[in-house]
Structure 1
Amino acid sequence: MNSFYEIPQIKKGILFIPDISGFTQFVTSTEVSHSQHIISELLELIISEVGNLFTVSEIEGDAVLFYRFQNDFDIEEIIKLCEKVFLSFHSYLKTYRRDLVCHCGACTMTHKLGLKFIIHIGDFGLNQVGKREKLYGKEVILAHRLMKNPLDLKEYVLVSSSYDLFDIKLLTSADLVLEEFGYVSFGYMDLTPLKDRIPEPLPIQRNFYPEVKKFVYTVIPAISFQDIVLAITEPEHRKAWMKGVSNIELKGHKINRIKSNHDCVINGNTIQVTLEDLIREENEVKILEHAYMQSMKTEIIQLFTIRKTEKDEVILGMGTVIIGSKNPFVRMFKSLIERVMAVQNSKNITSLGKYLKVLKY
């Protein structure tokens, strides 16, 4: 007689949990949308760095639950993997901080995030739940309980006593008492000193482009530069005020940053855009974009300026210049086409001003 339920096959394996520290405070005390995007990028980075050494069971908010069934459990190999992931994680955060466009709470607090790892051997199985497989067994519960430990450290590797801790000289011994499990010993290693091995990212390579001279302007009541920068650079905001835009798709990232790329579809034509630079001064911000218009085989530079006045107002400027084209028509009528672009810019900058006024009030 066939059973309606298949009992999960229990066998020995490794449970491996990289967990992003500071996640809860990061999400609850900052802008939720950007914090979610940042955490998502970091989780994808962790999964990529781990590669095929482990299998992903599931994403658990701020952590990834990995597992592996095998007979050879080389703990030193796994600790080296932890160090590799840790270094990549913090290298990413340093680069992200260098390339900041947005200065919201989430984007400026990334340096406070950390990473810890839980490693545990135990008997567990895979349970089919709908179309997904979930890990099953008491040892899975224990591995998660070990994440809530008394260590006064933010970033570390924790190895449960399922390993012979005496053979792992890098680890310091400790213990705790867990409900349902009783006395549990473990070893740990502080990862914080590894940060000294992470070099500062090289300065952004800034390209030199022809000066943009033909500007159109609009004046609006004072509003924070942060809100204006987001309105210009964030895809969802930009679609709301830029004429003819039907879609903007970021490439490789979930949040815009310096040197990031996106495809912008305007009136059915795809334009490949790079956010080349963002220059912040005391009373002015400049946003420089390099764009390639596929339909016209033409490269342009687009510059936005945001400037405060003494009258508690903000002057928004927008200018475009053609810097190269494989289209003979564009080369012949470059000045005329730039004047047409200036007319379109005038409509867009006016639309942006109206949009910002709505955001303010």
Structure 2
Amino acid sequence: MKYQTRKKALVLLADGTIFYGKSVGIEGTSTGEICFNTGMTGYQEIFTDPSYFGQLMVATNAHIGNYGVNDNEVESDGIKISGLICRNFSFTHSRVDSNGNLKDWFIKHNLVAISDVDTRALVSYIRDNGAMNAIISTDVDNIGMLKKQLAEVPSMEGLELASKVSTKEPYFVGDENADIKISALDIGIKKNILRNLAKRGAYIKVFPYNSSFSDLESFNPDGYFISNGPGDPEPLIEAIEVAKEIIKRDLPLFGICLGHQVIALSQGISTYKMHNGHRGINHPVKNLLTGKGEITSQNHGFAINREETEANDNVAITHVHLNDHTVAGIRLKNKNVFSVQYHPEASPGPHDSEYLFDQFISNIKSVKKVLS
């Protein structure tokens, strides 16, 4: 597609600021909270991560689409972002094992995407002014109408979104003859989490977001897992109750991202919406138990209160984010429970933190050994 034939498009922020660009060829309008990801690769995994549901994604990498798409590189059943904003969009791709180009994939999923935006200026503006709702559109002559539409978009704060991305029915992953069984609460789970558990000899039953503890317990699991996901954790009353029941029984429990926040809330630790979240594949974290640094993949706009965590006699901080010293991991004292704010399964991202899956499996085996 020639540059000069492409339709104009815009990004309108909630505070009235406008950035202009070009449509990639899919006309329309889309809304959501605007955020940015600093990863240099892995765009397909990012676009299909359920944690991004309801968000407009700004890609800081200057080139998007250059290696096409591959059906095996998705983290859910489809695209979860509300729309894409990028600098340079590649209509052609060059990778041997790609299944097609990014534009056709976006057309298939009816995703509005705009390019030729000054993303460096846009990201700088968001960093200074904080996360906010936005609208992207090819209807550049109707700014007044777009402002009215944007004003009706709910804030991410207080918004429950797990129900929008969770499975509707339970399903199984892994070898049914495996020695370890895990019940996983899906509040926005990524496929690579399940792959990491399965390759470590676990058979997993994945449950919908509103499942009760008795539902999860009916699988007679050896351990429990609470997944990542989108939105504000505080409205997830049912998931918080599930965490409380698991912890009360001192059963092996592991939580990632939104699951980490749910576990914290179950212990009376509050969460808050960050000025800007952590989204990228190069976030530095320090493991306070080993003293080692880890480069991690992160995607979250909420965090748990550090002061309340430090004041809680039942909780210990295990990991901290080295950029802003937010809590990146906790464990419960005298309980078989731990969680992290980041993504040890990566996809995309580094593998520094995969040991956490080994730690979870080891915890489960230790309990099984005692019980046997």
Task: Give the TM-score range, shorter chain.
Answer: under 0.3
Of Structure 1 and Structure 2, which has the larger fraction of its residues in helix? 1
Q: Which has the higher strand share?
A: 1
| Higher gyration radius (CA) | 1
TM-score, length basis structure 2: 0.23
